[in-house]
Amino acid sequence: MRIHLIRIGDTRVLPLPKSLLAQCGFGEEAEIKMRGRVLQISPVRKLREGWEEAFREMARRGDDDPLL
C-alpha cells in the first residue's frame, strides 16, 4: 500500500485507514521503533498482556510446578 504523507507545519502525518488500524489492534497509542531504515509501528501492549492465557496453557500441560 502506498500513501501520501500529510504536511502539518514541520511535521509529516501518516494517514492510516481505519480498517488497517482495526486489523492490527491499534487503540489510541502506538509504539514506534526504527529497524535500520525501516519504521516499525506497533499497538501499545498492556503490561502483562497475555500472561493469563499463558498460565492457563501451562496448567493444562502440567508445566506449572514451582521451580524451587
pLDDT at 35: 94
For residue 33, being part of any structural domain is answered with yes
The total number of structural domains in the chain stands at 1
For residue 17, being part of any structural domain is answered with yes
Would you say the C-alpha torsion 25, 28, 34, 39 has a positive or negative sign?
positive
Model pTM? 0.55
Please write the tens of the pLDDT for every residue from 29-52.
899 999 999 999 999 887 787 888
Domain around 25: 6-61
For residue 67, being part of any structural domain is answered with no
For the chain, give the number of residues: 68
Please write the tens of the pLDDT for every residue from 7-32.
999 999 999 999 999 999 898 889 99
- The rounded distance, in Å, linking the Cα atoms of 40 and 33 is 5
